[in-house]
Amino acid sequence: MSAIAREAESDEDIERCHPVLHQLRPHVPFEGWLERVRRQQAWGYRLGFVVSTFTWTIW
């Protein structure tokens, strides 16, 4: 298995993080999510995600 940690910098990356963060913070709706993260980034907040790949064999 390999995993790569990345910072969510593009609008698309930030929007794709919402479903996972919504599990932790269900009170934060998708509407306004991008603007909220961009505002927090101006204060030094960083949003990251992990890209993981793996393989397996079924015997």
Tell me what the mean pLDDT of segment 2-11 comes to. Answer: 92
Beta bridge pairs of residue 7: 48
pTM of the full structure: 0.80
* pLDDT band, very low/low/confident/very high, at 31 (cuts 50, 70, 90): very high
Domain region containing 8: 2-53
Domain assignment present for 19:
yes
* Mean of all residue pLDDT scores within the chain: 92
In our burial notation (b when 16+ CB lie closer than 10 A, e otherwise), range 16-44 reads: ebbeeeeeeeeeeeeeebeeebeeeeeee
Number of domains forming the structure of the chain: 1
Whether the predicted pLDDT of 48 surpasses 90:
yes
Phi, psi of 44 (to 5 degrees): 105, -5
Q: For residue 55, with 0-12 CB atoms within 10 Å meaning exposed, 13-18 middle and 19 or more buried, which class applies? A: exposed
Domain assignment present for 59:
no
